[in-house]
Amino acid sequence: MSMLERAKQLSGEMSRLRREIHQHPELAFEEVRTSALVAETLREIGGIDVRTNVGITGVVGSIGTGDGPTIGIRADMDALPIIEDSGVDFSSTTAGKMHACGHDSHTAILLGVAHLLKQEFAKGNLRGNVRFIFQPAEEATNGRHQSGAPMMMDDGALDGVDHMIALHVDSMTPVGQVGLKKGHITAAVDSFKAWVRGTGGHGAAPHQGTDPLWMLIPIMSSLHSIVSRKVNPMHPAVVSLGVVRGGTVSNVIPAEVYLEGTLRSYDPDVREQLIREVEASIALSRHFGGDYTIEFERGYPPGYNDPTVTGWMEQVVTEYIGGDNIDRTKAGMGAEDFAYMQQKAPGTMLMLGAAVGDMKRAHHTPVFAIDETAMPLGAAILAETARRFLAGEFKGE
Amino acid sequence: MSMMERAQGLADEMSRLRREIHQHPELGFQEVKTAALVADTLREIGGISIRTQVGKTGVVGDLGTGDGPTIGIRADMDALPILEATGLAYGSQTAGTMHACGHDAHTAILLGVAHLLKQEFASGKLKGNVRFLFQPAEEVGGDGVSGAPEMIKDGAMQGIDHVIALHVASDLPLGQIMLPRGPITAASDGFKGWVRAAGGHGAYPHGGGDPVAMTASVIQALNAIVSRKINPMKPAVCSIGMLQGGAAFNVIPHEILIGGTLRSFDPEVRDQLFEEVERAFALATALGGSYELELKRGYPAGINDATVTQWMDDVASEFLGADVIDRHTVGMGGEDFAYMQQIAPGSMMMLGAAVGDMSRPHHTPVFDIDERSMPIGAAILAETVRRYLTK
């Protein structure tokens, strides 16, 4: 029986697990119930060494022969602060929290993969190890500005792992289609907070002070010209303001204006250039007699799908759904903290089509929903990629 | 003897031809002497059917068995309005005109290729045809029609299955080449817009509309098109190159001219740039003035066909080694070879030709190339054709 057929036999079990998690969503680093369910399920499967509280609420399961190479498979577990309005009968029972990005299905799929690979190791044909990495907090950072992936890595979750694979469901792509691109797939994401200051004063007497709102005109013009005038057009980049705040009443010129923005890039040089240019733009305030403070926070690195590992997974996907159903170009300026793991262990992330029929269930919205029939396909792709890797069946690229 | 060795044997002849052309540079659609030299040389080689005045001053040479596939090889012939300052013994004899982009070398290389392929056809092992396309006026794009579409109009591309070409690169070391697949040059369009308002006395701005103030908003909008409106995954450029208006310090002018260039690869982005430029100029209307806008479509994006690029890549890898081929670097420059690639899938490579003594950028008075690049280029073009047409 093929891996895909065996995965389909597990679809009832994966669906049950996914719905259990969906009904009890937990936010970043609060995945206590979810991680308990994960650890319990791994123990039931048996033969898996289970470590809990890895990266606060993460769970790591290890299975294998001890010697040989090690491949890691990652699923994230956290939900979002959204009031669910999807209409499914297993909706969130925690008001204001919702699995609106499919991490419930990622977790359930990876538990299905653990089932499948346990059976494979029992056959004795594999040499090497699989690490099941159930990660907290993909959607948010903690007080140390760290999301789940680097927190787990600090706790050694990737030590000894040679390659990493993962998938993400895609609610806007039909079941049976996937995105699998070599090279960059997600952007480096950094952010800034800036305070532009003048003296402020009476609105009727602007000449007596310095006006930070007026200084914003050249500053914003300059910020919005960074990408169009300063960055090599062959390198993707974004500078977007998300917050502009200042003032309280109509006749008082405020002393301070507050700005927040996000920076996106792929190329490391462009990433540094954006940080330099944003500061140069904010520093225009000094030219107009004001002053500024700026803080940058470095976020996720760019996600890079290793060509070799991507080529392996592509062989498996092609056998299951045909090469025509693979979008090899899909990339954007979004961010994914799986990128940290890819930096340490060359790997790849698959975008798994999981759209329900109406195609109106966008990620991070209250109506988000997926078609669960995508889950066995995702589990089979991950499990078969790991199996062939450990059976030495992949030749070169 | 390998094609590379045979091309090396022609090095002096190609050098002689290149220097002859370099001394007598001619601007776009004025390549009369150059075209005559090309036609004469093709006749001397023999066995080549020659058509002149194709696309005004272009020359087409046909060689082959009549049946089978046909591959075109293109070289451009025009010079630039630049005063040469290289100090070369064979410097331009026409003051103010200079081969500052290496088209002299392209023409000489293609004549070398004609020599090489004539010999190949004589061996009787090839089936098919090769067309030598000596094109005028590559440099006039953005301001009138360039040479490639003029030659196409005169039938130069009829019956051609594939087309290949090279361009020397004065900033790429000798022995290296650039040969990416997919987009290699950008669609290159232009705009000229006039922002108009009443104007008036500088002391009485309230009396009429001020196109200078309106222009400030238009420029802001133009500069934000790429950063705010275009998908960041799709390369695009909107650059203002001309800004003209006013004649006296105390007169608010009634008109400001803003001109610029638009670059893109994706056809939808190309159309979007046009729409957004129009919207930016329309700010003048919102501010109480008016505008007039001329949008001019220039070269399309040049796409290197994957299959043909692989053929050239295989040949270049054998001659130079696979690790001296840059398969990634692409820029927003425009090339009217793109028109030919639209008709027949084909590929253009950048041929390393840096002299190495100093920076000698294209389109500058000190531009120069290392002529030792010429046999390398000729060998790669000729060998790609030979393999394609080998029975």
- Class for the domain spanning A3-185+302-390: alpha beta
Q: Does the beta carbon of A335 lie under 8 angstroms from any beta carbon of chain B? A: no
Q: What pLDDT band is residue A397 in, cutting at 50, 70 and 90?
A: very low
Distance from CA of A238 to the nearest CA of B (A): 7
Is the Cβ pair B232, A221 closer than 8 Å?
Answer: no
For B101-164, give the DSSP string: SSHHHHHHHHHHHHHHHHHHHHTT-B-SEEEEEEE--STTTTSS--HHHHHHHTTTTTT-SEEE
> What is the fold, at CATH topology level, of the domain defined by A188-298?
Alpha-Beta Plaits (3.30.70)
**What values do phi and psi take at B68, rounded to 5?**
80, -175
User: Which residue of the set A300, A304, A336, A340 is catalytic?
Assistant: A300
Strand partners, A261: A192, A241
Residues on chain A touching B225 (C-beta within 8 angstroms): 228
Distance from CA of A359 to the nearest CA of B (A): 22
How far CA B384 is from CA of A286, B20, B130, B295, B308, in Å, comes to 60, 27, 11, 39, 9
Cα angle B243-B245-B246, degrees, rounded to a multiple of 5: 150
Cα angle A359-A362-A367, degrees, rounded to a multiple of 5: 90
List pLDDT tens digits, range B16-74: 999 999 999 999 999 999 999 999 999 999 999 999 999 999 999 999 999 999 999 99
From the number of C-beta atoms within 10 Å of its C-beta (0-12, 13-18, 19+), residue B194 rates as buried
How far CA A306 is from CA of A81, A178, A267, A335, B66, in Å, comes to 33, 17, 16, 17, 48
Residues on chain B touching A270 (C-beta within 8 angstroms): none
Q: What average pLDDT does this structure show over A369-390?
A: 98
Q: What average pLDDT does this structure show over A256-272?
A: 97
Please name the residue of chain A whose CA is at the shortest distance from the CA of residue B216: A221
Q: Residue A67, Cβ neighbours under 10 Å: how many?
A: 9
Distance from CA of A262 to the nearest CA of B (A): 13
List pLDDT tens digits, range A197-249: 999 999 999 999 999 999 999 999 999 999 999 999 999 999 999 999 999 99
| A8: CB partners within 8 A, 6+ apart | A376, A380
Please name the residue of chain A whose CA is at the shortest distance from the CA of residue B234: A236
Q: Does the beta carbon of A234 lie under 8 angstroms from any beta carbon of chain B? A: yes
β-pairing verdict for A188-197 and A256-265:
antiparallel
Kindly provide the b/e burial profile for residues A113-126, where b requires at least 16 CB atoms within 10 angstroms of the residue's own CB. Answer: bbbbbbebbeeeeb
| A294: CB partners within 8 A, 6+ apart | A192, A193, A194, A195, A278, A279, A282
Residues on chain A touching B332 (C-beta within 8 angstroms): 233-234
Q: Helix or strand or coil: residue B264?
A: strand
Please name the residue of chain B whose CA is at the shortest distance from the CA of residue A329: B233
Give the pLDDT confidence score for residue A396 in this predicted structure. Answer: 57
Residues on chain A touching B237 (C-beta within 8 angstroms): 228, 233
Chain A, residues 305-324, CB within 8 A of chain B, namely none
For A115-166, give the DSSP string: HHHHHHHHHT---SEEEEEEE--SS---TTS--HHHHHHHTTTTTT--EEEE
| Domain spans in chain A, listed from the N-terminal domain onward | 3-185+302-390, 188-298
List pLDDT tens digits, range A9-18: 999 999 999 9
Q: What average pLDDT does this structure show over A34-56?
A: 97
What is the sign, positive or negative, of the torsion defined by CA atoms of B332, B333, B334, B337? Answer: negative
List pLDDT tens digits, range A330-365: 888 999 999 999 999 999 999 999 999 888 899 999
Write the ipTM.
0.77
**What values do phi and psi take at A204, rounded to 5?**
-85, -10
Nearest-10 Cα torsion for B9, B15, B17, B20: -160
Q: Does the beta carbon of A333 lie under 8 angstroms from any beta carbon of chain B? A: yes
Q: The sheet that has B49-54: what strands, in order across it?
A: B49-54, B58-64, B129-135, B70-76, B162-169, B346-352, B177-178, B325-326
| Residue A132 in tokens | 């099941």
Dist CA A142 CA A148 (whole Å): 9
Is the Cβ pair A333, B224 closer than 8 Å?
Answer: no
Q: Helix or strand or coil: residue B14?
A: helix
Residues on chain B touching A221 (C-beta within 8 angstroms): 220, 223
Number of A–B residue contacts, CB under 8 Å: 42
Q: Residue A148, Cβ neighbours under 10 Å: how many?
A: 33
Q: Is A300 a catalytic residue?
A: yes
Dist CA A259 CA A241 (whole Å): 7
Question: Which domains does chain B show, CATH number per domain?
Answer: 3-184+301-389 (3.40.630.10), 187-296 (3.30.70.360)
Residues on chain B touching A236 (C-beta within 8 angstroms): 232-233
List pLDDT tens digits, range A117-145: 999 999 998 999 999 999 999 998 887 78
Q: Is A372 a catalytic residue?
A: yes
Is the Cβ pair A233, B232 closer than 8 Å?
Answer: no
From the number of C-beta atoms within 10 Å of its C-beta (0-12, 13-18, 19+), residue A142 rates as middle
Q: What average pLDDT does this structure show over A295-313?
A: 96
Q: Does the beta carbon of A239 lie under 8 angstroms from any beta carbon of chain B? A: yes
Percentage of chain A beyond pLDDT 90 is 95
Is the Cβ pair A228, B233 closer than 8 Å?
Answer: no
Dist CA A30 CA A42 (whole Å): 20
- Site of tokens 């057009």: A233
Residues on chain A touching B233 (C-beta within 8 angstroms): 236, 331-333
**What values do phi and psi take at B332, rounded to 5?**
-100, 20
Q: Nearest Cβ partner of B228 from A224, A233, A333? A: A224
Q: Nearest Cβ partner of A228 from B223, B233, B330? A: B223
Q: At what angle do helices B11-23 and B103-122 cross, to 10 degrees?
A: 140
Is the Cβ pair A224, B236 closer than 8 Å?
Answer: no
User: Which residue of the set A138, A277, A372, A384 is catalytic?
Assistant: A372
Is the Cβ pair A228, B226 closer than 8 Å?
Answer: yes
Q: Nearest Cβ partner of B331 from A227, A234, A238? A: A234
SS3 content of chain A, % helix, strand, coil (to 5): 35, 25, 40
Distance from CA of B224 to the nearest CA of A (A): 6
Q: Nearest Cβ partner of A236 from B224, B233, B263? A: B233
Residues on chain B touching A332 (C-beta within 8 angstroms): 233
Stretch (H or E) spanning A19: helix A11-23
Q: Helix or strand or coil: residue A56?
A: coil
Q: Helix or strand or coil: residue B67?
A: coil
Residues on chain A touching B263 (C-beta within 8 angstroms): 233
Are B133 and B73 a contacting pair, CB within 8 Å? yes
Is the Cβ pair A228, B224 closer than 8 Å?
Answer: yes
Distance from CA of A260 to the nearest CA of B (A): 17
Single out the residue of A13, A297, A37, A7 nearest to residue A167, CA to CA. A7
Give the pLDDT confidence score for residue B91 in this predicted structure. Answer: 97
Distance from CA of A19 to the nearest CA of B (A): 36
Q: Does the beta carbon of A396 lie under 8 angstroms from any beta carbon of chain B? A: no
Is the Cβ pair B235, A226 closer than 8 Å?
Answer: no
Single out the residue of A295, A290, A281 nearest to residue A193, CA to CA. A295
- Chain-centroid distance, C-alpha B6: 28
Which residues, given as ranges, of chain B have pLDDT below 70?
Answer: 141-144
The model's pTM is 0.82
